[in-house]
A = this chain, B = another copy of it.
Amino acid sequence: MPTGDYALTFACPDRPGIVAAITGALFKNDANILEAQHYTDSATDEFFARICFNFSDVDRIQQLRVRLSELASELQMQWTIRDLADRQRLLIMVSRMDHCLADLIYRWRTGELAVDIAGIISNHPRDTFQLHDLEEIPFNYLPILNDTKHVQEQEIWRIVKERKVDLVVLARYMQILSSDLSAKLFGRCINIHHSFLPGFKGARPYHQAHARGVKVIGATAHYVTEDLDEGPIIEQDVERISHYDTPEALVRKGRDIERRVLSRAVHWHVSARVLLNGRKTVVFRD
Contact = CB atoms under 8 A, between A and B. Distances in A.
A216 B242 contact: no
Given A215-B236, A216-B196, A243-B281, A24 B33 contact: no
Interface in A12-36: 14-21, 23-24, 26-28, 30-36
Contact of A245 (B24, B37, B199, B286): B286
Instruction: Give the interface size class of chain A.
Output: 35 or more
A118 B211 CA distance: 35
A136 to B, nearest CB: 12
Nearest to A263: B256
Interface stretch (A38-46, A150-158, A164-172, A179-187): A38-46
**Chain A interface main SS type:** mixed
Contacts of A218: 216
A217 to B, nearest CB: 10
21 contacts: A17-B27, A23-B24, A34-B40, A35-B38, A35-B40, A36-B38, A36-B49, A37-B38, A39-B244, A99-B110, A112-B252, A196-B199, A212-B279, A214-B233, A215-B234, A215-B235, A216-B218, A216-B236, A216-B238, A242-B283, A243-B277
Interface of A: 14-21, 23-24, 26-28, 30-42, 49, 56, 98-99, 102, 106, 109-110, 112, 131-133, 196-200, 211-216, 218, 232-238, 240, 242-246, 249, 252, 255-256, 260, 277, 279-283, 285-286
Q: Which 9 A-B pairs have the closest CB atoms?
A: A213-B280, A20-B27, A199-B199, A36-B38, A20-B23, A16-B32, A19-B23, A215-B236, A17-B27
